[in-house]
């Protein structure tokens, strides 16, 4: 089993979820995060005083799936999340060594 972790633009969330739906994902968990990569930060201001904000709001999407589905899901996310401009985000993949479905107690791939 693998975990796919994609950090994307918040405004791409809906499209990514739709893409996952289409490609058939087993389940997905979403995080509100802030990130900083190559994308330039923002200048905000308060009562006349400007300041830089380096951490920009991002969404993180995590899917645990079978090994054979990794590529398909990665591609689905990537193509839904792409704008071509700096700040599109990244996808990382991790090994998952065990899974358990709380409701039924199933283990392993059956639990995903």
Partner 1 sequence: MESGRFYSGKRVGPILSAVFLLGSGMALAGDPTGAETLKSDPGLPVDYVWVLVCGFLVMFMQAGFACVEAGFCRAKNATNLLTKNLMDFVVGALVFWAVGYALITGTDWKGLIGTSGFFLSGEGYDVGNYLSFFWQMVFAATAATIVSGAVAERIKFQAYLLYSIAITGFIYPVYAHWVWGGGWLSKLGFGLGHLDFAGSGVVHAVGGLVGLAGAIVLGPRFGKFDKNGKPRAIPGHNIPLAALGVFILWFGWYGFNPGSTFSAHHLRISVIAVNTTLAAAAASLTALILVLAKTRKFDLGMALNGVLAGLVAITAPCAWVEAWAAVVIGIVAGIILVAGVYFLEAIKVDDPVGAVPVHGFNGLWGLIAVGLFADGTYGNYAIEPPFVKGLFYGGGVDQLIAQVIGAVALFVWAFGAGLVLFKVLDLVVGIRVSPKEEIQGLDLFEHGTPAYPEFYTVRR
Ligand X SMILES: Nc1ncnc2c1ncn2[C@@H]1O[C@H](COP(=O)(O)OP(=O)(O)O)[C@@H](O)[C@H]1O
Tell me which residues touch ligand X (CB under 6 A). 7, 26-29, 35-39, 56, 58, 62-64, 86-90, 101-103, 112
Instruction: Determine how many CB atoms are found less than 10 A away from the CB of residue 69.
Output: 19
Tokens of 85: 């401009």
Q: Given the complex with partner 1, which of 68 and 85 has the nearer CB atom?
A: 85
In angstroms, the CA 85 to CA 63 distance is 24
Of the residues 10, 11, 44, 94, which one makes contact with its own copies according to CB under 8 A: 94
Least Å distance, CB 107 to ligand X, is: 13
Question: What angle do the packed helices 70-81 and 13-23 form, to 10 degrees?
Answer: 150
Q: Given the complex with partner 1, which of 51 and 94 has the nearer CB atom?
A: 51
Instruction: Give residue number: closest CB to ligand X.
Output: 35
Residue 20 DSSP code: H
Tokens of 56: 């920009």
- What are the CA-CA distances from residue 65 to residues 11, 71, 94 (Å)? 24, 10, 11
63 binds, among ligand X, its own copies, partner 1, none (CB under 5 to 8 A by kind): ligand X
Q: Binders of partner 1 among 27-86, rule CB under 8 A?
A: 32, 42-51, 57
- Can you give the binding site for partner 1, defined by CB under 8 A? 10-11, 32, 42-51, 57
């Amino acid at each position: 089993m693998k975990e796919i972790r994609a950090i994307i633009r918040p405004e791409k969330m809906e499209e990514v979820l739709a893409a996952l739906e289409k490609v058939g994902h087993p389940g997905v968990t979403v995080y509100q995060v802030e990130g900083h990569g190559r994308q330039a930060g923002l200048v905000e201001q308060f009562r006349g005083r400007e300041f830089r904000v380096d951490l920009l709001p991002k969404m993180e999407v995590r899917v645990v799936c079978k090994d054979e589905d990794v590529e398909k899901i990665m591609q689905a996310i990537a193509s839904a999340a792409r704008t071509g401009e700096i700040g599109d985000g990244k996808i990382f993949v991790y090994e998952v060594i065990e899974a358990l479905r709380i409701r039924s107690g199933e283990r392993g791939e059956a639990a995903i």
